[in-house]
Amino acid sequence: MATSNKTRLVDEMKMQSGQDPNECYQCAKCSAACPVTAAMDLLPHQVIRYLQLGFEEDLAKSNTPWICASCFTCAARCPRDLDLARMMEGIRLVMLRRREGNKFGPADLTPEQLEKLPQQALVSGFRKYNK
């Protein structure tokens, strides 16, 4: 099972993001740079390790790709020039495309939030969590 999943996820990842997780040598600079690791159940470099090993179902359960704020700090610091933000987006998209519902929509917002949030936050939030 692991093998076929690995082929699918990693192949799609390589093609769509141009990133090969196998180029990562697990130095964990990305995890040191990431500003939101406190809320993550897997550290960014561990996500890559899981990708290398094809642990797709564990990645599907992890909150890390959903916590990732696409701040691009990991990519800026990676000595292997890997763009982890793209891989995180890849995992999110695989999940969103594979599953039925959206993760977050207008109905999840309070009237107060709708009043105050900048339009940019609404558009980007819906883009990240919806398909």
Partner 1 sequence: MRYHYFPGCTLKGQAKNMESTTMAAAAALGIELVELEEWQCCGAVYPLYEDELITLLSPVRTLAAAKGEPLVSLCAACHHVLKRAQELMQRNEEARKKVTDYLEVDYAGEGRVLHFLEVLRDDLGFDKLAEMVKKPLEGRKVAAYYGCLLLRPSKVMQFDDPENPTIMEDLLKAIGADVVKSPYRTECCGAYLSVTEEAVAEDTVTRIIDSARNAGAEALITACPLCRYNLENCASEDGKEPIKVYYFSELLAEAMGLQFDQLMTSALERRRSSDGNK
Footprint of partner 1 (CB under 8 A): 16-18, 35-36, 38-39, 67, 69-73, 75-76, 83, 85-86, 89-90, 93, 104, 109, 113, 116-125, 127-129
Contacts to ligand SF4 from residues 102-131, by CB under 6 A: none
The whole-angstrom separation of Cα 52 and Cα 23 is 9
44 contact, one of partner 1, ligand SF4, none, CB 5-8 Å limit per kind: ligand SF4
125 contact, one of partner 1, ligand SF4, none, CB 5-8 Å limit per kind: partner 1
The whole-angstrom separation of Cα 39 and Cα 102 is 21
Contacts to ligand SF4 from residues 3-32, by CB under 6 A: 24-30
Contact 41, 64 (CB under 8 A): yes
* Cβ proximity to partner 1, 1 vs 61, nearer residue: 61
* Cβ proximity to partner 1, 3 vs 81, nearer residue: 81
State which H helix or E strand residue 95 sits in.
Answer: helix 84-98
What are the helix (H) ranges across 18-83?
A: 29-33, 44-53, 56-61, 64-67, 73-77
